[in-house]
Amino acid sequence: MNLSQAIPLIMLMAIAKTAFSKQETIKLKHNLEIAKIENNVYVATDHEFYQSNSLIIKMQDRSVVVVSSPFENLATEELVNWIKGNLNPKKMIAINPHFHRDGTGGNSVFGKYGIETWSSDLTIDLRKKANMVDPKKAAAFYKDPDLRQRILNSPVKSARNSFPIKEGKEFSFSGETVKVFFPGPAHSPDNVVVYFPRQKILFGGCMIKPASLGYLGDADVRAWPSSAKRLKQFDVKLVVPGHGRWGDASLIDKTISVALMASDASKLNR
């Protein structure tokens, strides 16, 4: 590539970076913030609980898909009320990307409002086991008594609908598809990703870790690199991680590099 060819590409990358950094944001109660990514595409960030992200996309038939959820009921109520008041959905479905609270914590509220909830069969099994010790275990992470109480007041329910994890799931909204894919274990044994082909947006969830792998309590560090490499099959312009800032497909490459280093280190420590 010569200089005359490279300059337009550099300018395009700069424009894309600026677009990601100058998004309209809406602040709601309970330190919940919604960023408008593009028309009918939003990321909700729960700042009180590890900057957890949920992806909200309104489909062409006016259905709204929510991937992941806030940690607990109060923030989820805020999110649902905002969606209903601003997006006027014909129908809503919520997809749990893994069994931790930042994937399933809103299911009680979703059920209250008649919102269809989905997860893999493995996520349901793992959530049931987690409920034997949760919410007290989750609440213990927080020094703030108000946050602890919010967790204790928010028992987590499993999704009402499930699919075999190895098969994944494809939703169709008047011909517009959404694909749920299991790339293999990484952050957790059940982490799935959700791909929106028309928008070229991938919710990578907690397996997307471009800086460090973070919490490893349920992780498969050795499998993580291979699982992350399977995300390269998707044609993406935006990747949304479970926590922190979203970005382009380079988040996948950075995750692979971080996971490879961690995997190699784990082999040395055997």
Establish if 141 belongs to a structural domain.
yes
| pLDDT (0 to 100) of residue 265 | 87
| pLDDT (0 to 100) of residue 90 | 97
| pLDDT (0 to 100) of residue 12 | 40
| pLDDT (0 to 100) of residue 160 | 98
| pLDDT (0 to 100) of residue 133 | 83
Tokens for 247, please give them: 């970005």
Establish if 8 belongs to a structural domain.
no
| pLDDT (0 to 100) of residue 9 | 39
| pLDDT (0 to 100) of residue 270 | 62
| pLDDT (0 to 100) of residue 15 | 41
pTM for this predicted structure: 0.90
| pLDDT (0 to 100) of residue 136 | 81
Tokens for 170, please give them: 């494809």
**Which structural domain range is residue 249 located in?**
21-268
| E strand segments, the chain | 24-28, 32-38, 41-46, 52-58, 63-67, 91-95, 116-120, 161-163, 169-173, 176-181, 193-196, 201-205, 238-241
Torsion angle of alpha carbons 261, 267, 269, 270, nearest 10°?
A: 160
- CATH code where residue 45 lies: 3.60.15.10
Q: Considering Cα of 46, then 84, then 170, then 248, what sign does the dihedral take?
A: negative
Establish if 7 belongs to a structural domain.
no
Under DSSP, is residue 67 helix (H, G, I), strand (E, B) or coil? strand
| pLDDT (0 to 100) of residue 11 | 43
Q: Which residues contact 11 (CB under 8 A, 6 or more apart)?
A: none
Low-confidence ranges of the chain (pLDDT < 70): 1-22, 134, 269-270
Neighbours of 197 (CB within 10 A): 14
- The letter for the amino acid at 126 is L
Domain count, the chain: 1
Cα separation, 154 vs 187, in Å, equals 23
Establish if 1 belongs to a structural domain.
no
Establish if 57 belongs to a structural domain.
yes
